[in-house]
Amino acid sequence: MLTLVLPKLVSFEGSGGRAVRVTERNVNALKSAYWVVMAGGLLEPVLYLFSIGVGVGALIGDIALPGGRTVSYTEFVAPAMLAASAMSGALAETTFNFFGKMKFMRLYDGMLATPIRPFEIAVGELIWAMVRGTLYSVAFLTIMVAMDLTTPLRALAAFPAAVLVGFAFGALGMTVATLIRSWQDFDLIGAGQFALFLFSGTFVPAQAYPVALRWLVELSPLYRSVDLIRGISLGSVGWVQVVDVLFLLVLLAVGLTVSGRRMGKLLCK
């Protein structure tokens, strides 16, 4: 289905059309085993939701938000799992897979023999990463609504926020992929991703941390993502969520710019 729709979105003659052609190539190269990998990526946050959000939440009870409102621990954790799922899906595509295509498959060398430019490759790969991230977001939001953790209208509002999170982390992932030197460096990426997952307000409010650590937590991209989606999911949107959106848009713009320039230097030597 995607192979029929994507080429018609924009003309191939334009820059946007060339980026879509990169996405189309990834769709055409899909293998049946890939869907198993995608299912595993969705299963992980769902298991965290049930084990920690529901299981541990039964012991914790309600949790107080900064404004004084109390919600169940499951309601508190679920938006964070959605943000973490969007982050993980985007990073998986734009680090490991992107690095393999660039360094070992030498796929992009062939693309540059066509009118496609490095920045358009970056945009096309980012769009492809968001195909995966969008599927994750839709599935997880459906689970949240089914468990009465948010309302259908709030879930619809949270969907574009989750997509923005995926785009921002996808751009960040591509930048990192152009900087790493070997497969061993992925251990560092995994450690950094897990640290973000644990210390970005996912399981406890940022206010629970010491003041110095709290400010460090609130500057992390996953915290801003969690805060944005949690605010929408719980119906407590305010000016802070505007800051979250601006933060993620800047991360997206900087990530795309840097990754496009880095690709140009690496591939056009």
The pTM assigned to this predicted structure is 0.83
> Who's near 236: CB < 8 A, 6+ residues apart?
65, 67, 69, 230
Bridge partners, 106 (sequence order) = none
Encode the chain (269 residues) as per-residue pLDDT tens digits: 444 334 443 344 466 677 777 777 777 766 655 666 666 667 778 888 888 888 888 888 888 877 778 889 999 999 999 999 888 888 888 888 778 777 777 777 777 777 878 778 888 888 887 877 788 888 889 999 999 999 999 999 999 999 999 999 988 988 988 888 777 888 888 888 889 998 898 998 888 888 888 888 999 999 999 999 999 999 888 899 999 999 999 999 999 888 888 877 776 65
Q: What token pair was written down for 240?
A: 């802070």
Bridge partners, 71 (sequence order) = 63
SS3 state of residue 64: strand
Number of H-type helices and E-type strands within the chain: 13, 2
Q: Rounded CA gap, 233 and 156, in Å?
A: 9
Which of 231, 223, 219, 233 is closest to 203 using CA atoms? 223
Which of 128, 149, 124 is closest to 230 using CA atoms? 149
Number of neighbouring beta carbons within 10 Å of residue 96: 16
Q: What is the CA radius of gyration of the chain?
A: 19
Number of neighbouring beta carbons within 10 Å of residue 171: 28
